Amino acid sequence: MAHTYCGIRYSIFDPTGNITALVESPVEVCDQPAAAARIMELRREVEQVGFVKFSDGGQDDVRAELRMAGGEFCGNAAMSAAALYAIRSSSDAGTGRDSVRLRVSGTDGPVMVCLERESEVSFRTQIRMPSAMEIGETEFEWGETSESLPVVRMEGISHIIIEPDKSFFRLLSSRDQAENLIRVWCRNLSAGCLGLMFLQPVRTGEYALTPLVYASGCGTVFWENSCASGSSAAGMYLSSQKKSPVSLTLREPGGILSVDSSFPDGETFLRGRACLAGSFELPG
């Protein structure tokens, strides 16, 4: 019997244009991709869907758990989930500055999100991103072109960094081909999820970043308005190349994300905004 998913409650957040739906109703993991597809069918602006559970913290002070529909890690969704916890909480969270510790799919340990309230529904956010497991070079093919590209392997997702001096940067103008290739390259890399990060320098410390992300777990491919994990991957990659800490401003289609990284010996922090756009319920 088909599941209608009626009555499922969800909220829509805008974290730097990467429109995210967070489901608060309990949904079995096996049903989450279908529920996500239903939400994305009704709300065409939504780029990704996560499923959240809140608690009072307990011994490890984890206030929220977030599982993305494809089981991937997503920094923008994590920042949105922390903001939603602050809005829903009856404590002081959300009235000024606060830190929310949460578990997120695609990473082993909890992550910490710092919040600074701008309005009743809008927050400045900062998240300490999980460090890349490896940054290396891999050979890729497109038609008769073969080229080596940097791959940033993170828990739950890998990112390929494509800069203007590479032939594959032309994929930015061949989006249908890019969408086909990202599926093939994801399988070749045995990655659960994959991002193509088209990274172009603008001036010192400032880059334009156009993200394409494939979540194999739910079969979605999106030219995202912003990508938190991809932005962090770009920061870690540039820090490893320069062999020194970097502070970056990344101009993405949906707005600006800022990254500070001192990979591999230090930490990577991502700063942005998350704003609640509204709360809804799936119709019957």
Q: What is the percentage of the chain residues whose pLDDT exceeds 90?
A: 83
* Average pLDDT rounded to a whole number, residues 156-176: 96
Q: Does 145 share its domain with 194?
A: yes
Shared domain check, 179 and 251: yes
Q: Is residue 144 part of a domain?
A: yes
Residue 50 structural domain: 9-128+273-281
pTM above 0.85, yes or no: yes
Number of structural domains (the chain) is 2
Q: Is residue 3 part of a domain?
A: no
| Chain segment 93-145, per-residue pLDDT in tens | 445 788 999 999 988 889 999 999 999 999 999 999 999 999 999 999 998 99
Q: Are residues 139 and 252 in the same domain?
A: yes
Q: Are residues 40 and 113 in the same domain?
A: yes
Please indicate, yes or no, whether residues 152 and 40 belong to a single structural domain of this protein. Answer: no
Check residue 28 and give its pLDDT: 94
What pLDDT does 284 receive?
63
58 part of a folded domain: yes
Mean pLDDT calculated for residue range 260-273: 94
SS3 track for the chain: CCCCCCCCEEEEEECCCCCEEEECCCCCHHHHHHHHHHHHHHCCCCCEEEEEEEEEECCCCEEEEEEECCCCCCHHHHHHHHHHHHHHCCCCCCCCEEEEEEEECCCCCCEEEEEEECCCCEEEEEEEECCCCEEEEEEEEECCEEEEEEEEEECCEEEEEECCCCHHHHHHHCHHHHHHHHHHHHHHHCCCEEEEEEEEEEECCEEEEEEEEEECCCCEEEECCCCHHHHHHHHHHHHHHHCCCEEEEEEECCEEEEEEECCCCCCEEEEEEEEEEEEEECCC
Both 143 and 106 in a single domain? no
Domain match, 78 and 192 both: no
Domain with residue 263: its CATH number is 3.10.310.10
If asked whether residues 80 and 197 sit together in one domain, one would say no
Q: In this structure, is residue 4 part of a structural domain?
A: no
112 within domain boundaries: yes
The confidence score (pLDDT) of residue 96 equals: 75
The DSSP letter of residue 69 is: T
- How sure is the predictor about 2, in pLDDT bands with cuts at 50, 70 and 90? very low
- Report which DSSP code applies to 31: G
Is 162 a member of any domain? yes
Reply yes or no on whether the pLDDT at 236 is more than 60. Answer: yes
User: Looking at the domain assignment, is residue 124 inside a domain?
Assistant: yes
Residue in this structure with the two tokens 């086909």, named with its chain if needed: 180
156 and 247 part of one domain: yes
User: Of 80-94, 141-155, 217-231, which gets the smallest average pLDDT?
Assistant: 80-94
Q: Residue 59's pLDDT is what?
A: 64
What confidence tens digit (pLDDT) does each residue in 205-215 have? 999 999 999 99
Confidence (pLDDT) at 94 = 46
Among the residue ranges 57-61, 240-244, 256-260, the one predicted with the least confidence is 57-61
Q: What is the mean pLDDT of residues 65-73?
A: 93
Say if residue 258 is in the same domain as residue 141.
yes
> Does residue 264 sit in the same domain as residue 277?
no
Residue 2 lies in a domain: no
Check whether 5 has a pLDDT greater than 80: no
22 plus 92 within the same structural domain: yes
